[in-house]
């Protein structure tokens, strides 16, 4: 028998109907033994997530809103849970919990405590509904005094605790600090809890159930009906998520990656779809395509520095990068020529420090010229299949130029997992479409 840890996102637990679907998914496979729920998410597009309702509740208390205003707002939260309970026909009364939580928030239990109650209450209801044990995350997920996650302590205690329960629900998103206060991960952090539980349970698979059938090869807002990705490696995923493809919280990858546990992204509304499998190693041939995905981002600036004989001036690059470091700016890419060096930075980060950085570079490196160009978009073509396929770069570049787009920058990592191309922002969609059509259609 294998063991699966299953995490359900907020949209998968937004109302009673979704609870039913979730219960069916869990019950259809006895290997699905540990369940990590998020708080109820949006039921329709301008609905509010329960987590956000809790953040607002906290703000109302902090800003000393009248008790009528606070109570009216709290009613909305209770109503979300009460309607789930009643529509499921559960005999379950949370009024004691509601009272306790309200008092705790009124008595300075903190913002994270307030936010965490979204998952806590949802976990109680789900455990009751499916008949699983409830393990409060505050007894098994630990943070250090400085607020960082304590993986070793958590893994030791959580793995022992899980052995005591054949089937259990562990709410996502929060844990406890050494001083007894509740701490949450960053937004979307139930993904991280799921991954931590999978590691501690030594699971064979971490299923992450959401409202999409896995990752798509490209952003559907830019490419019409992109194909789904069957299998992606952790490293490819990292490249694509850096470029803005988000389905999974980035930090959710680390606990399972080191334990070698694959993640399967699945769709609660379409359980028949296989979804995307995220693995540490995959053969480059199991994909039909040379590329796994294509993604990109706008909003970059290029600083170009020219100086005769730059190539023989030892320490030139270091001085340039120190000028950025001193201003807390990280660089994204560093394409360089013999006597030129370009640094690609995020415009949003760079903007406020522009003058100081330019002055510092001029003072320290005495260049012949220095210029800045804004409006650069980066496109990343990602694929483990590229290592074996000859001519991939040529295909990328000719597809882009056949579409009439000028390439402003090229960067190919030596790992041959990606090729990054810089184009003008107004050419961004055209470039992405050209690449996608070249490799996929």
Residues that bind ligand ASP (CB under 6 A): 10, 38-39, 49, 51, 118, 172-173, 187-191
Q: Which is nearer to ligand ASP, 37 or 262 (CB)?
A: 37
CA 240 – CA 224 distance, rounded (Å): 18
CA 383 – CA 291 distance, rounded (Å): 4
Q: Which is nearer to ligand ASP, 177 or 329 (CB)?
A: 177
- Tell the smallest beta-carbon distance from residue 10 to ligand ASP (Å): 5
CA 174 – CA 185 distance, rounded (Å): 6
Q: Which is nearer to ligand ASP, 207 or 332 (CB)?
A: 207
Q: What is the number of the residue whose Cβ is closest to ligand ASP?
A: 190
- Tell the smallest beta-carbon distance from residue 54 to ligand ASP (Å): 9
Residue 5's nearest CA partner among 21, 41, 29 is 29
- Tell the smallest beta-carbon distance from residue 121 to ligand ASP (Å): 11
Q: Which long-range contacts (CB under 8 A, 24 or more apart) does 223-227 make?
A: 223/432, 223/433, 223/436, 226/436, 226/440, 227/440
Q: Which is nearer to ligand ASP, 142 or 173 (CB)?
A: 173
The DSSP result for 336-363, as a single string, is B-SSEEEEEEEHHHHGGGHHHHHHHHHH
Contact of 48 with 42, CB cutoff 8 Å: yes
Contact of 217 with 230, CB cutoff 8 Å: no
Q: How far is CA 437 from CA 70, 197, 226, 285, in A?
A: 54, 40, 10, 20
Q: Which is nearer to ligand ASP, 253 or 320 (CB)?
A: 253
CA 189 – CA 212 distance, rounded (Å): 18
Token pair 């997530």: residue: 49
- Tell the smallest beta-carbon distance from residue 71 to ligand ASP (Å): 23
- Tell the smallest beta-carbon distance from residue 421 to ligand ASP (Å): 33
331 bridge partner residues: 345
Q: Which is nearer to ligand ASP, 31 or 251 (CB)?
A: 251
Q: Which is nearer to ligand ASP, 38 or 109 (CB)?
A: 38
Q: Which is nearer to ligand ASP, 161 or 251 (CB)?
A: 251
297 bridge partner residues: 378
């Amino acid at each position: 028998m294998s063991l699966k840890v299953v995490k359900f996102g907020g949209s998968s637990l937004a109302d009673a109907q979704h609870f039913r679907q979730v219960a069916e998914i869990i019950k259809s496979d006895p290997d699905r033994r540990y369940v990590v729920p998020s708080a109820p998410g949006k039921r329709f597009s301008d609905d509010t997530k329960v987590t956000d309702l809790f953040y607002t509740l906290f703000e109302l208390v902090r800003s000393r809103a009248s008790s009528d205003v606070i109570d009216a707002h709290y009613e909305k939260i209770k109503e979300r849970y009460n309607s789930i309970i009643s529509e499921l026909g559960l005999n379950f009364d949370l009024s004691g919990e509601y009272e306790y939580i309200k008092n705790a928030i009124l008595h300075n239990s903190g913002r994270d405590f307030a936010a965490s109650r979204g998952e806590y209450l949802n976990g109680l209801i789900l455990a009751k509904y499916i008949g699983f044990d409830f393990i409060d995350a505050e007894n098994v997920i630990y943070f250090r005094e400085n607020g960082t996650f304590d993986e070793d302590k958590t893994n030791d205690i959580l793995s022992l605790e899980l052995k005591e329960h054949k089937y259990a629900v562990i709410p996502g998103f929060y844990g406890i600090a050494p001083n007894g206060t509740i701490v949450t991960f960053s937004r979307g952090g139930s993904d991280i809890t799921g991954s931590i539980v999978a590691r501690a349970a030594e699971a064979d698979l971490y299923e992450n159930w959401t409202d999409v059938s896995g990752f798509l090869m490209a952003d559907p807002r830019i490419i019409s009906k992109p194909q789904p990705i069957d299998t992606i490696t952790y490293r490819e995923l990292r490249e694509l998520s850096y470029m803005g493809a988000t389905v999974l919280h980035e930090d959710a990858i680390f606990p399972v990656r080191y334990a070698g546990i694959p993640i399967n992204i699945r769709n609660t509304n379409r359980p028949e779809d296989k979804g995307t499998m995220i693995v540490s190693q995959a053969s480059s041939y199991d994909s039909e395509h040379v590329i796994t995905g294509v993604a990109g981002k706008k909003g970059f600036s290029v600083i170009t520095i020219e100086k005769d004989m730059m190539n023989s001036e030892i320490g030139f690059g270091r001085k340039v990068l120190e000028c950025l470091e001193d201003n807390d700016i990280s660089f994204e890419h560093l394409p360089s020529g013999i006597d030129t060096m370009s640094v690609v930075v995020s415009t949003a980060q760079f903007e406020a420090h522009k003058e100081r950085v330019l002055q510092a570079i001029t003072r320290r490196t005495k260049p012949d010229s220095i210029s800045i160009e804004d409006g650069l978009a980066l496109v990343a073509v990602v694929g483990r299949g590229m290592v074996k396929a000859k001519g991939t770069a040529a295909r990328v570049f000719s597809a882009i130029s056949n579409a009439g787009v000028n390439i402003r920058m090229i960067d190919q990592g030596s790992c041959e997992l990606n090729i990054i191309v810089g184009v003008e922002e107004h050419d961004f969609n055209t470039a992405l479409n050209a690449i996608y059509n070249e490799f996929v259609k």
